[in-house]
Chain A
């Protein structure tokens, strides 16, 4: 079974600082994908970044980067130069291909608060 673990229930960061949100995963699949989503108070799920299990380079999308350490089974999200609008819930998720299914499994989430 696939499992995603986010060990930081909440984080508080000063504006303009960088922040790292932790994510570890467990799977027996050889091919899988890792996602990060942002969920503001409105409830919508906003896609941030994706890393494939065979990608050799860490994914980057603007201020977001994914620190992918395959041997340690970790996929931490790094947000550079944080902004007040970054305050939200952040979810790490994994897609596997167990038995042909392409379902997303989510971690517990981290609530990020950016202080001015």
Chain B
């Protein structure tokens, strides 16, 4: 299955600032996804990162707050903009590849705390 490197693993940020999370995959993948997991909650899909075009956002998530880039088939970034304490969450990158785990692999997550 695909191997994902997600960075940073954790960070503590000041409110009002922005943080960019990186997701690097060791092979070309068809689809990449970004999830948010608020404390004690389940995973909620933020958006699907599309190679060469704008990401597809889920209801309740907007590009201005969570801009996403995907310049090629192995790399994507998620930026959390103008952060507030409510953005304190685990952010996870996931990919859908052709083999392994019936397609889906997750990064190790970024644990983000806003102070």
Which of B33, B41, B109 is close to A44, meaning CB atoms less than 8 Å apart?
A: B109
Chain-B contact segment, one of A20-28, A63-71, A72-80, A99-107: A99-107
Closest chain-B Cβ to A33's Cβ sits at a distance in Å of 6
CA distance A33 to B94 in the complex (A): 17
**Using a Cβ–Cβ cut-off of 8 Å, how many residues does chain B contribute to the interface with A?**
22
CA distance A43 to B106 in the complex (A): 10
In the complex, which residues of chain A have a beta carbon less than 8 angstroms from the beta carbon of B96?
Answer: 102
Do B104 and A91 touch (CB < 8 A)? Answer: no
CA distance A102 to B45 in the complex (A): 12
Which of B33, B42, B48 is close to A109, meaning CB atoms less than 8 Å apart?
A: B42
| CB nearest to A37 among chain B residues | B106
| CB nearest to A92 among chain B residues | B42
Q: Ordered nearest first, which 9 A-B pairs have the shortest CB separation?
A: A45-B106, A47-B101, A43-B109, A50-B102, A106-B43, A106-B42, A44-B108, A108-B42, A43-B90
Which residues of B are at the interface with A, using a C-beta cutoff of 8 A? Answer: 31, 33, 37, 41-45, 48, 90, 92, 94, 96, 101-106, 108-109, 111
